[in-house]
Amino acid sequence: MIDTLRQVETPEGVDLKLPLAGLIPRGLAWSIDLVLRLLGYGVAAVFLAALGEVGTGLYLILLFVGEWFYPVLFEVFNGGATPGKATLGLLVVQDDGTPVGWSSSLLRNLLRFADFLPIAYGFGLTSLLLQRDFKRLGDLAAGTVVVYRPVERRVEALSDEASPLPPPVPLQRQEQLAVVEFAQRRSTWTDGRAQELAQMTGSLVTGSRREKVDQLLGLAAWLQGRR
Amino acid sequence: MNRESFRQRRSADWDRLEVLLSGLEDRRLKSVPGGAEIPALYRRACQDLALVRSRSYGRDLEQRLHEIVLRGHRALYRGQRLSWERVGQFVVVEFPRLVRQEHRLVAFCTAFFLLPFVGVGVGVHEQPDLIYWLLGQEQVAEFEAMYADGGNFGRDAESDVLMFGFYIFNNIGIALRTFASGIFLGLGSLFILLFNGLHLGAVSGHLIRVGYGGNFLPFVVGHGAFELTGIVLAGAAGTRLGLSLLRPGHRSRARSLATEARRILPMIVGVALMLLVAAFVEAFWSASSASADLRYGVGALLWLTVFLYFGLVGRDR
């Protein structure tokens, strides 16, 4: 499979599909976080400069916390996503799809240093590109993956417009499924494409191109239990 | 039962579960009324999802249920929250136990750090030119200036805060890097241990030889108790990462790394806490105007504390 879905089984025995995030969105998220951190350091520098040596001391502490623990704090307290990841709709989860806790988040972000070597995330990129789960070294050690946040992009339920139409001949399971899928995905196609596909059903539906589409929708409504 | 009657019969439960999960995901709420219903509703939803899939009830239902189950799974199987009790447990049981459990590795890393330290220290003490093999002339002059009479000492309270920040940024940073670079088959950690051993040994040997020992030793004896042990433990934790890849045993290397990394993580967290204490001692005590004898005394006490802590704390009675 060329799919970038990671399948995990829940203790209840159903499979969940996690859409994995690859190099580009993760790189973009990282860049956003970098800019935010730099802005933060800049603003802090302006205020702390007024405090002289004490300010410099506090600034170094801020720099330490920012460089090592910025991702950890956000991942733990913000449901697995730094601001950059949240912008891109990404989120860090454990291998089994459950939320990251302190241990996983600490591990993956401490090992960021190893990923960063020898220059510009060299090892991290290599590791990420060599695996089907897009894991950098930190993800390997922590047992985490970066996935897309589940989006509420629902397939529209079948419209009630089509009047239910019993199939002229008994349809096999695969055929029923194809008809129902056709109806469910109808709204994502142009009229021309829908008519073109409807042509391929052979003798199942008859009439003009437009009528064939309508009949298929009617068959789908009937198959789904409407009468 | 066909798809329509299935949907009609079950959708009230799904709506209810969605409402409850939204409440749970809202972090402003402390508790969700009706939260106790979630597990049962969630398990029914799992069953429904499996049913929808096996009967091919269509994409819309499957996607909706998949999303509900995903959210329920995240809500139900979240990890332990951090609590003061857990932090306390970590300090008085988990950390010292882990160090004892890894005593062979810790001993190895101690040797890897201490032998070059002592060797080069003695060497530089006896053979003055040796130090220039390891450090540049300017660096040597810098160190000498730091520990010459009045160099680093008797500074004001503001500088103390500055140095506190610097020690946190620099020293804890080194320890964390020592740990992380252990993933390269342990070589990174061992290299940093060796490098620090050579460097610190050379500086110590040189300062004592030129007669600044009276300033240098009382300065380092206190925070050294936490700092030197900390760096060795960081090396041990990192080497453990490397060993997990070199000797995975009956597990795959990936699994071995993930398991061992999780097991050893408390060690590096403990090291970070130790170095925080060290930074505090180094910034506010080591360079203070207290007499050398007092600082030797306190230093001895701190070393004793560290050894007793790792030797005795957290043992079963």
Q: Report d(CA B60, CA B85) in Å as an integer.
A: 46
CB-closest option in A12, A54, A184 to B161: A54
Q: B155: pLDDT confidence band, cut at 50, 70 and 90?
A: low
- Mean pLDDT on B294-311: 90
**Residue numbers in A near B238 (CB within 8 A):** none
**Residue numbers in A near B165 (CB within 8 A):** 56-61, 64
Q: A154: pLDDT confidence band, cut at 50, 70 and 90?
A: low
Chain B residue closest in CA terms to A174: B56
CB-closest option in B4, B181, B183 to A224: B4
3-state secondary structure of B184: coil
Q: Do A184 and B265 touch (CB under 8 A)?
A: no
**Residue numbers in B near A13 (CB within 8 A):** 46, 50
Chain A residue closest in CA terms to B59: A155
Q: Report d(CA B38, CA B19) in Å as an integer.
A: 10
Q: What pLDDT is recorded for position B29?
A: 58
Residue with token string 């001692």: B281
Q: In b/e form, how buried is each residue of B54-68, taking b as 16+ CB within 10 angstroms?
A: eebbbbbbbbbbbbb
CB-closest option in A56, A64, A101 to B79: A101
pLDDT tens-digit profile of B65-82?
A: 888 888 888 888 877 677
Q: Is the pLDDT of residue B223 over 90?
A: no
Other Cβ atoms closer than 10 A to B110: 18
Q: Do B269 and A106 touch (CB under 8 A)?
A: yes
What six digits make up the tokens of B273?
A: 């806490």
Q: Which long-range contacts (CB under 8 A, 24 or more apart) does A186-191 make?
A: A186/A213, A186/A217, A187/A156
Q: Which long-range contacts (CB under 8 A, 24 or more apart) does A78-87 make?
A: A79/B25, A81/A149, A82/A29, A82/A33, A83/A32, A83/A33, A83/A36, A84/A28, A84/A29, A84/A30, A84/A31, A84/A32, A84/A33, A84/A34, A84/A36, A85/A29, A85/A33, A85/A146, A87/A29, A87/A32
Q: Do B176 and A110 touch (CB under 8 A)?
A: yes
Q: A158: pLDDT confidence band, cut at 50, 70 and 90?
A: low
What six digits make up the tokens of A27?
A: 């790189």
For residues A5 and A20, is the Cβ–Cβ distance under 8 A?
A: yes
Q: What is the mean pLDDT of chain A?
A: 85
For residues A15 and A8, is the Cβ–Cβ distance under 8 A?
A: yes
- Residue partners of A11: CB distance under 8 A and separation at least 6: B77
Sort A166 into a burial class: Cβ within 10 Å, 0-12 / 13-18 / 19+: exposed
Q: What pLDDT is recorded for position B40?
A: 87
Q: B180: pLDDT confidence band, cut at 50, 70 and 90?
A: very high
Q: Does A4 touch chain B (CB under 8 A)?
A: no
Q: Report d(CA A99, CA B81) in Å as an integer.
A: 12
Other Cβ atoms closer than 10 A to A19: 13
What six digits make up the tokens of B144?
A: 């000498």
Q: A33: pLDDT confidence band, cut at 50, 70 and 90?
A: very high
**Residue numbers in A near B94 (CB within 8 A):** none
Q: Report d(CA A48, CA A55) in Å as an integer.
A: 4
For residues A56 and B159, is the Cβ–Cβ distance under 8 A?
A: no
Q: Do B69 and A93 touch (CB under 8 A)?
A: no
Q: Do B58 and A184 touch (CB under 8 A)?
A: yes
HEC string of chain A equals CCCCEEEEECCCCCEEEEEECCHHHHHHHHHHHHHHHHHHHHHHHHHHHHHHHHHHHHHHHHHHHHHHHHHHHHHHHCCCCCHHHHHHCEEEEECCCCECCHHHHHHHHHCHHHHHCCCCCHHHHHHHHHCCCCCCHHHHHHCEEEEECCCCCCCCCCCCCCCCCCCCCCCCHHHHHHHHHHHHHHHHCCHHHHHHHHHCCCCCCCCCHHHHHHHHHHHHHHHCCCC
Which residue(s) pair with A94 in the sheet? A144
HEC string of B102-156 equals CHHHHHHHHHHHHHHHHHHHHHHHHCHHHHHHHCCHHHHHHHHHHHCCCCCCCCC
Other Cβ atoms closer than 10 A to A117: 18
Which residue(s) pair with A91 in the sheet? A147
pLDDT tens-digit profile of B233-275?
A: 999 999 999 999 999 989 999 899 999 999 999 999 999 999 9
Q: What pLDDT is recorded for position B290?
A: 75
Q: Do B169 and A61 touch (CB under 8 A)?
A: yes
CB-closest option in A10, A17, A60 to B166: A60
**Beta-carbon-side half-sphere exposure of residue A199 (alpha carbons within 13 Å):** 7
Q: What phi-psi label fits residue A72: left (phi over 0), alpha (psi between -120 and 50 degrees) or beta?
A: alpha
Answer with the residue of higher pLDDT: A160 or A139.
A139
Q: Do B56 and A173 touch (CB under 8 A)?
A: yes
Q: What is the mean pLDDT of chain B?
A: 86
- Most confident of the ranges B34-48, B159-173, B263-277, B290-304: B263-277
pLDDT tens-digit profile of A46-87?
A: 888 888 888 888 999 999 999 999 999 999 888 888 999 989
Q: Give A 74-113 residues with CB within 8 A of chain B.
A: 79, 93, 96-103, 106-107, 110-113
Instruction: Give me the interface pTM, i.e. the ipTM.
Output: 0.83
Q: Report d(CA A186, CA A172) in Å as an integer.
A: 21
Q: Do B168 and A10 touch (CB under 8 A)?
A: no
Number of A–B residue contacts, CB under 8 Å: 151
Q: Which DSSP helix (H) or strand (E) runs through B285?
A: none
Q: Do B257 and A177 touch (CB under 8 A)?
A: no
Other Cβ atoms closer than 10 A to A163: 11
User: Which among A131, A170, A144 has a CA at the least distance from the CA of A76?
Assistant: A144
pLDDT tens-digit profile of A183-214?
A: 888 878 888 888 888 888 877 777 888 888 88
Which residue(s) pair with A147 in the sheet? A20, A91
- Mean pLDDT on A166-190: 82
**Residue numbers in B near A132 (CB within 8 A):** none
Orientation angle between helical segments B213-246 and B137-147, nearest 10 degrees: 120
Mutate to test the interface with B, among A91, A111, A151 (most CBs of B within 10 A): A111
Q: Does A54 touch chain B (CB under 8 A)?
A: yes
**Residue numbers in A near B183 (CB within 8 A):** 111, 114, 137, 141
pLDDT tens-digit profile of A110-147?
A: 999 988 888 878 888 888 888 878 888 889 999 999 99
User: Which among B201, B255, B250 has a CA at the least distance from the CA of B228?
Assistant: B201
